[in-house]
Amino acid sequence: MFTGLIECTGIVRKTGSGFQIEAGKDLDLSRGDSLAVNGSCLTVTKIERKYLCFDVSPETFRRTVNPIPGSKVNLERSMAAEGRFHGHFVTGHVDAAGTVTKVKKTSGFSEITVSFPEEHSLLLVEKGSVTVSGISLTVASLTGSSFTVAVIPETLKTTTAGEWKPGYRVNLEFDIIGKYVTQAALAARSKESLREYLEQYETGRS
């Protein structure tokens, strides 16, 4: 589990069947630990001096934007059970790739518009949370296939968000609470009524 608050950025040094990344600071990681790389939960398989190595499955390659050597990535360690909770619930399981379509800068802030596959439109609400390349952001406005977020100067300075421009590809993870609510609502829609659906659910539990 992650929170969407980026700890530092890193530089991709090598790609192939996995990634080799040089982190911007010592993250005190060991082999087997989880690290969100641009919002995608990966497992550290090896540490070679200052480089973190990860194996990447075909599913992850298919779902996410694949970084190239020399590119900057956002990094966040998994949340400690005794730690304070910031951001929002982030699983590190990327749902889809999106594309930055507009960047408007105002007084140090940036209003960034991102397009996404329209089949995911039920998973976004205005003022709700969305994870963009690992960053927990709030949806400021929304259409059927794009949303806009307001990014503060600190986030622009400490993450890859400061490099985003039209055409930039990003990883998207939609709020997991919205996913479960949507799934339950869609299942209930096929029943005669929501009450019938819930009654059958309770019967099945007893």
pLDDT digit string, tens, across residues 124-134: 999 999 999 99
The arithmetic mean of pLDDT across residues 98-107, rounded, is 95
24 in a domain, yes or no? yes
The arithmetic mean of pLDDT across residues 75-103, rounded, is 89
Average pLDDT for the chain: 91
187 in a domain, yes or no? yes
Of 133, 163, 120, nearest to 37 by C-alpha is 133
Spell 49-73 as b/e; 16+ CB within 10 A means b.
eebbbbebeeebeebbbbbeeeebb
- Report the distance separating Cα 92 and Cα 163, nearest Å: 22
Pick the more confident residue, 182 or 120.
120
Least confident of 13-17, 32-36, 187-191: 187-191
3-state secondary structure 110-174: EEEEEECCHHHHHHCCCCCEEEECCEEEEEEEECCCEEEEEECHHHHHHCHHHHCCCCCEEEEEE
CA distances from 89 to 57, 81, 86, 130, 177 (A): 23, 13, 9, 10, 8
Residues 116 and 188 in one domain: no
- Report the distance separating Cα 117 and Cα 166, nearest Å: 17
Q: What is the domain count for the chain?
A: 3
90 in a domain, yes or no? no
Residues 135 and 164 in one domain: yes
Q: Give the model's confidence band at 206: pLDDT under 50 very low, under 70 low, under 90 confident, else very high.
A: low
The CATH code of the domain that includes 45 is 2.40.30.20
- Report the distance separating Cα 48 and Cα 9, nearest Å: 18
33 in a domain, yes or no? yes
The arithmetic mean of pLDDT across residues 169-174, rounded, is 98
pLDDT at 107: 87
Pick the more confident residue, 42 or 80.
42
86 in a domain, yes or no? no
- Report the distance separating Cα 21 and Cα 47, nearest Å: 10
66 in a domain, yes or no? yes
The arithmetic mean of pLDDT across residues 133-143, rounded, is 96
The arithmetic mean of pLDDT across residues 119-144, rounded, is 95
- Look up the domain containing 24 and give its range: 8-77
